Amino acid sequence: MTTKTALAFKGPTADSRFARLLLSIIAISFIALFLVLPLIVVFATALKSGFGSALETFKDPDTRSAVRLTFLVAAIAVPSNLLFGLAASWAITKFDFRGKSLLVTLIDLPFSVSPVVSGLVYVLLFGMQGWLGPWLRDHDIRIAFALPGIVLATIFVTFPFVARELIPLMNDQGREEEEAATSLGASGLSTFWRVTLPNIKWGLLYGVLLCNARAMGEFGAVSVISGHIRGLTNTMPLHVEVLYNDYQYVPAFAVAALLALLALVTLVVKTFLEWRYADEIAAQHRH
């Protein structure tokens, strides 16, 4: 092969040192500017008056209520999306049926709809002036401006995460193992537990971690449906806004720092699992 031919077939990673350096600088600059710097500001402001002052924030009843509510909503929304993600991905990848493309499109809907709009939809459905409002009022059922509405809005904005993590993985793995297990007399439930679940467990875990992070940090949809009732329907993101608007900057950033810390813990756990079980994860994706 001549030199000109070799140059014509230069590999995609054989760029000049200057090009690699320039791309690296751009990537690092974006990470530093839009990720690292904001995190530094959050933690620095939260600790500006000392660690003890930041901890004092969490003695406030409204703050403690916001923390409890955030964890409670996540504890309901994440398992719900886990069940939905498993059911949807199983149906889409293991069966052929009319409307499959529509189902996949609907799963992606929360990615394209503003969270504020989704929260407004629940208000129009379950609010006092909404379609179901009078019936709910007559039966003393509260959904809007209460825990059920917050949970519904959170489930809506987070339900693609588990399904979208599993569908490509299960598509790559195909149906052969499940069909073989079924032909040998295994029931559907037994096939799922013994064949499917071991093959998708890491993708499932990643989806759950991402879903949990988004559920705890959701603001737009929850802001509309919650009613901003202090001590009752304010989650941590909403409580941060309330404290900031009241010029309580240290408490606001202390709560924000807790949210950021939870997100960082999620990232660390995900990274550790990828490092610890790299060979097994790679084997599953090659399967």
Taking only the tens place, the pLDDT of each residue in 51-101 is 888 888 999 999 999 999 999 999 999 999 999 999 999 888 888 888 888
pLDDT, position 199? 83
Question: In this predicted structure, which of 154-158, 177-181, 207-211, 257-261 has the lowest mean pLDDT?
Answer: 177-181
pLDDT, averaged across the chain: 86
DSSP state of 229: -
Residue 11 to residue 193: CA distance in whole angstroms = 44
Residue 196: band (very low, low, confident or very high) from pLDDT cuts 50, 70, 90: confident
Check whether 187 has a pLDDT greater than 80.
Answer: no
Tell me which residue has tokens 């500006």. 48
Positive or negative, the CA dihedral 62, 63, 68, 69 is positive
Q: What are phi and psi of 5, to 5 degrees?
A: -65, -40
Residue 115 to residue 155: CA distance in whole angstroms = 11
Best CA proximity match to 233, nearest among 141, 149, 123: 149
Best CA proximity match to 240, nearest among 232, 230, 285: 230
Q: What are the DSSP E strand ranges found in the chain? A: none
Count CB-CB contacts under 10 A for residue 213.
22
